Structure 1
Amino acid sequence: MSTATVEAQERTRAFARVIGPYVATFTTFYAFRLPDLLGLLDDLLAQPVLVWLLGALMLGAGLVIIGAHRNWRGPLAVTVSLFGWFVAVRGFLLVVTPDTIRSAAVSTVLSPTGLTLARVFFGVLAVIGLLLTYAGWFTGGRSAGEAAAKGSSLPST
């Protein structure tokens, strides 16, 4: 299997630098404050224009990631690409079926088992966000120019 180009690896790290801290911050917040967010969700979903706008923005952001990041070589690249698809699908579902999203969230928060599973899920996502942050900010120390000058490529990401 061939490795990704230096440009593709740099793009993957650039996306990881943005996505990682975002995912780590919000999923940590969700894991700890999940029951408190039910009121916020009710307020948001009570206004159809805000739901539609949020869904449209999420769909657009997901499509930007999908379109700009077409690299699927390596775990970091796969994670970034899957995040783009996840955001796009969530945005689409929020526009098309907001009531289903609301009922799923309410039933998850009201069930003790669902709440525990959701907290574990968000905890795992927080760790993935931290790993993306690390990979985006602290790996691939050589620039594309240095790698080209030495005739080698960056380690695959």
Structure 2
Amino acid sequence: MEPASPEAQRRTRAFARVIGPYVATFGIVYAIRLPDLGGLVGDLFAQTFNVLILGALMLAAGLLIIGLHRSWRGPLAVTISLFGWFVAIRGFLLIAAPSTIEAGAGATLLSPTATVVARVFFAALGALGLVLAYAGWFTKPNHEVIAGVS
């Protein structure tokens, strides 16, 4: 398989610079504070408008990533693209089936086992965010491709 173009590599790294710290921050905070967020979930779903706006923003953000990042070459690019699809689908579900999302979040917070699993998931997501941030900010692009040598 041929490597991604220099422009695709730059775009992937730019998305990693933004998405990485965002995912790391929220993943780590959710892993630590998940048991305390039960009231926040209830408050969010108590107002239909809040759920609609959150879903619309998530759908728009996911579609923005999908539309602007079309590279699937390499693990970093695949991770960015999958994240865009995940956010878009989650936003769509918040708009189309908010009660299903609310029931799932509520059931997770009520079950001690599910809460532990969710905390481990969010911790892993936070670690992935740190990897994305590192890759976006501190790694160098593939020089062979940029120099035109393949």
Normalising TM by the smaller chain, what interval?
A: over 0.9
Do the aligned residues in 1 keep the contact of 2:10 with 2:141 (CA within 8 Å)?
no
Q: What does 1:70-85 align with in structure 2 at a 5 Å threshold?
A: 70-85=70-85
How many angstroms apart in 2 are the aligned matches of 1:137 and 1:110?
39
How many angstroms apart in 1 are the aligned matches of 2:35 and 2:99?
19
Match of 2:26 in 1: 26
Q: Does 1:109 align with 2:109?
A: yes
- TM-score of the superposition, structure 2-length normalised? 0.95
Match of 2:94 in 1: 94
Structure 2 residue identity aligned to 1:52: L
Match of 1:129 in 2: 129
5+ residue gaps, structure 2: none
How many angstroms apart in 2 are the aligned matches of 1:141 and 1:108?
40
Match of 2:2 in 1: 2
SS at match of 2:9: helix
How many angstroms apart in 2 are the aligned matches of 1:41 and 1:97?
15
Do the aligned residues in 1 keep the contact of 2:54 with 2:91 (CA within 8 Å)?
yes
Residues 115-136 of structure 1: per-residue CA shift (max 9 Å, x gap)? 1100110111011000000000
For residue 48 of structure 1, report the CA deviation from its aligned partner: 0.5
SS at match of 1:122: helix
SS at match of 1:90: helix
Match of 1:64 in 2: 64
Match of 1:50 in 2: 50
Equivalences, count: 150
Do the aligned residues in 1 keep the contact of 2:31 with 2:120 (CA within 8 Å)?
yes
How many angstroms apart in 2 are the aligned matches of 1:93 and 1:56?
10
How many angstroms apart in 2 are the aligned matches of 1:51 and 1:99?
10
How many angstroms apart in 2 are the aligned matches of 1:48 and 1:138?
41
For residue 31 of structure 1, report the CA deviation from its aligned partner: 0.4
Q: Does 1:40 align with 2:34?
A: no
- TM-score of the superposition, structure 1-length normalised? 0.91
Do the aligned residues in 1 keep the contact of 2:35 with 2:109 (CA within 8 Å)?
yes
Structure 2 residue identity aligned to 1:96: A
5+ residue gaps, structure 1: none
